[in-house]
């Protein structure tokens, strides 16, 4: 969905707004390059294995929020928590019980234009998606193809129904 970069410092040169990191290793790279993500979504795993203890300590030892999101799904709990994290003034780490991978998609839709969403591409690097109207539209099209209650998903993501 965007260019792949292997060097966090180089990637950060093109980030000038809200920064959302999806994944423990990505978050760790950004932190070690000197930039706290505004929102970090982590699950203490990489490539279906536990991250090493040093990474876990840096990125997930003291999360600000927690969410449950089963593998291969986008749960209502995860969407609500993502929206809460985006609304905060301070950098926020969300520890996901389950899997955070697919949360890059609603993050692109929910983030303000000009934001950056960075997620890991295993064995290749970090994918940087600049949030634009076009990127949001592309994610909407992709998300509309998912199984499940997409109407409820959009109401939740757009904040038009607090009860879902």
Is 97 annotated in some ligand binding site?
A: no
Q: Please tell me whether 158 is known to bind a ligand.
A: no
Question: Residue 26 annotated as binding?
Answer: yes
Task: Check whether 53 is labelled as a binding-site residue.
Answer: no
Distance CA 80, CA 85 (A): 9
Alpha helices in the chain (DSSP H): 8-12, 24-32, 53-59, 76-87, 104-110, 133-144, 150-157
What is the spatial order of strands in the sheet that 4-5 belongs to? Answer: 4-5, 125-130, 116-121, 19-22, 39-42, 92-98, 65-69
Question: What is the C-alpha to C-alpha distance for residues 157 and 34, in angstroms, rounded to an integer?
Answer: 30
149 marked among binding-site residues: no
Q: What is the spatial distance between Cα 21 and Cα 126, in angstroms, rounded to a whole number?
A: 10
Pairing state of beta strands 4-5 and 125-130?
antiparallel
The answer to whether the annotation marks 100 as part of a ligand binding site is: yes
Q: How many other CB atoms are there within 10 angstroms of residue 38's CB atom?
A: 20
Residue numbers in the known binding site are 24-26, 43, 100, 123
Binding residues for GTP: 24-26, 43, 100, 123
């Amino acid at each position: 969905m965007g260019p792949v970069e292997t060097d966090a410092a180089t990637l950060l040169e093109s980030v000038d707004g809200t920064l959302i990191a999806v994944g423990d290793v990505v978050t760790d790279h950004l932190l070690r390059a000197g930039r706290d993500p505004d929102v970090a979504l982590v699950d203490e795993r990489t490539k279906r294995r536990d991250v090493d203890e040093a990474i876990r300590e840096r990125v997930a030892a003291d999360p600000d929020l927690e969410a449950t999101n089963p593998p291969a799904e986008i749960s209502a709990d995860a969407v609500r928590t993502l929206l809460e994290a985006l609304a905060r003034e301070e950098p926020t780490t969300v520890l996901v019980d389950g899997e955070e991978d697919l949360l890059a998609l609603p993050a692109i839709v929910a983030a303000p234009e000009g934001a950056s969403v960075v997620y890991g591409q295993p064995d290749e690097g970090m994918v940087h998606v600049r949030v634009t109207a076009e990127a949001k539209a592309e994610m909407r099209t992709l998300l509309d193809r998912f199984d499940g209650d997409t109407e409820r998903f959009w109401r939740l993501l757009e904040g038009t129904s607090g009860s879902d």
